[in-house]
A and B are shown apart, each in its own frame.
Chain A
Amino acid sequence: AQKITQTQPGMFVQEKEAVTLDCTYDTSDPSYGLFWYKQPSSGEMIFLIYQGSYDQQNATEGRYSLNFQKARKSANLVISASQLGDSAMYFCAMRDPEETSGSRLTFGEGTQLTVNP
């Protein structure tokens, strides 16, 4: 079974600083996808960034980048130049291989990020 672990229940960062949110995963499948979603206090789930297991380069989307270390099974999210609006819950998720169980997402417990002015 797939498993996602986020070991930081809460993180604090100063505005304009960079922050790294940790995510480790466990899977025996060679093909998988890793995602990060943001959930503000309003409740919606916002897609941030995706990394495929066969992607050679780390994914980047604006101020978001993914530090993908396949051998260590980690997929940490790096947010550069933090803004007050980045304060939210952040979830790491893994997509199941479609061949076995559809393409459901398995989520971690989440990390609550607070950006201080």
Chain B
Amino acid sequence: DSGVTQTPKHLITATGQRVTLRCSPRSGDLSVYWYQQSLDQGLQFLIQYYNGEERAKGNILERFSAQQFPDLHSELNLSSLELGDSALYFCASSHAPRETQYFGPGTRLLVL
């Protein structure tokens, strides 16, 4: 157990819908990262927050947004969902940006 929690574990929804994925970092970790793992694209970085502020952005679609709250938990919002958004979404956390990232169990999203 990495200490990073993600909810829900599984999510099945329809095209065009909006979902919110939640992540609680390890105790004391200030940095949160979101990654997407799909069969065709592999593991891809989406976005990073540090102590509530956006720190770096990857190839995150405009339909996707995220934020980190004062209690350091983070949410990833996916809207206007398409079939191609089906993937395993990971949250990771680290105490500081240059330290080891520990991953949560992931949220498996299936868009039908």
Q: Which residues of A contact B92 (CB under 8 A)?
A: 45, 105
Residue A62 interfacial (CB < 8 Å): no
Q: Which B1-16 residues have a C-beta within 8 angstroms of A?
A: 2
Nearest Cβ distance between residue A115 and chain B, in whole angstroms? 22
Knowing A33-B98, A43-B88, A110-B42, the reply to whether A104 touches B106 (Cβ < 8 A) is no
Q: Which A23-50 residues have a C-beta within 8 angstroms of B?
A: 33, 35, 37, 43-47, 50
User: Which residue of chain A has its CB nearest to the CB of B35?
Assistant: A105
Task: Identify whether the interface residues of A are mostly helix, strand, loop, or mixed.
Answer: strand
Q: Which B68-112 residues have a C-beta within 8 angstroms of A?
A: 88, 90, 92, 94, 97-98, 100-106, 108
Residues of chain A having any CB pair with chain B under 8 Å? 33, 35, 37, 43-47, 50, 91, 93, 95-96, 98, 101-107, 109-110
Q: Are A47 and B42 in contact (CB under 8 A)?
A: no
Q: How many residues of B contact A (CB 8 A)?
A: 26
Could you give 8 example pairs across A and B, Cβ below 8 Å?
A: A43-B105, A43-B108, A44-B106, A47-B2, A102-B55, A103-B98, A104-B33, A104-B58
Nearest Cβ distance between residue B110 and chain A, in whole angstroms? 13
Question: Which of these, B33, B45, B90, B103, contacts A47 with CB under 8 Å?
Answer: B103
Q: Are B98 and A95 in contact (CB under 8 A)?
A: yes
Nearest Cβ distance between residue B46 and chain A, in whole angstroms? 9
Most-contacted residue by chain B among A35, A96, A101, A103 (CB, 10 A): A103
